[in-house]
Chains A and B, each alone.
Chain A
Amino acid sequence: SQQGEEDPQALSIQEGENATMNCSYKTSINNLQWYRQNSGRGLVHLILIRSNEREKHSGRLRVTLDTSKKSSSLLITASRAADTASYFCALGGADGLTFGKGTHLIIQP
């Protein structure tokens, strides 16, 4: 089963700035989900985007999906200290849901 590849592996920005992380994959998918994991905690579902959708919003989150480039991006606007966490993309396909290795985001005060 394929695994999404997040980029960058780690990202450090100042509070108030926007954070963008990307997920690339190799074969077709039915949908893609993004999850957040705070240190020592479980994963929290953020947003799902289906293969026939190009963009979705949820609060300060914006997710895009480009199936021609086989990539997705997660934008967090006006970052806060509480956004410090690891972010994972999860690919939904014939093999179920598979997670990438994640992007570790640090928001500097």
Chain B
Amino acid sequence: EAGVAQSPRYKIIEKRQSVAFWCNPISGHATLYWYQQILGQGPKLLIQFQNNGVVDDSQLPKDRFSAERLKGVDSTLKIQPAKLEDSAVYLCASSLIAGEDQPQHFGDGTRLSIL
């Protein structure tokens, strides 16, 4: 089975610019997550989708971050405008169904550097 695909792998932008990340989850997985992982820390959930609906976006900085999963498959995460503190790895994960007892399958992430 193909894993979670993410692109790009690396992105370097200047502060105040915008950036977008793309994620293709494992086929058939209804639940999709976006995490932010700052160097030396564990992943922090930004947003969770169930099919194309948002389940939890309580930790998403909505003044600058947005995400969508229009057809319940692929998803994009956007940052506009970027700040220096947004430098991190952005991980996408998927699970077959929702639930805190479900194993999550992660992509290799996009490493974002803000200059």
Q: Which of A35-43, A63-71, A72-80 contacts B (4 or more CB under 8 A)?
A: A35-43
A31 to B104, CA, bound (A): 14
| Contact (A43, B103) CB under 8 Å given A96-B48, A96-B56 | no
A50 to B101, CA, bound (A): 8
A42→B106 contact, CB < 8 A: yes
Q: Which of B14-22, B35-43, B60-68, B70-78 contacts A (4 or more CB under 8 A)?
A: B35-43
The secondary-structure label for the interface of chain A is strand
Interchain pairs with CB closer than 8 A, number: 51
A42→B41 contact, CB < 8 A: no
| Contact (A98, B109) CB under 8 Å given A30-B100, A93-B100 | no
B101→A98 contact, CB < 8 A: no
The secondary-structure label for the interface of chain B is loop
Q: Specify which of A40, A42, A100 is in contact with B42 (CB 8 Å cutoff).
A: A100
Is A24's CB within 8 Å of the partner chain B? no
Is B32's CB within 8 Å of the partner chain A? no
Residues of A within 8 A of B42 (CB): 3, 88, 90, 99-102
A50 to B102, CA, bound (A): 11
| Interface of B toward A, CB cutoff 8 Å | 4, 40-45, 48, 56, 91, 93, 100-101, 103-109
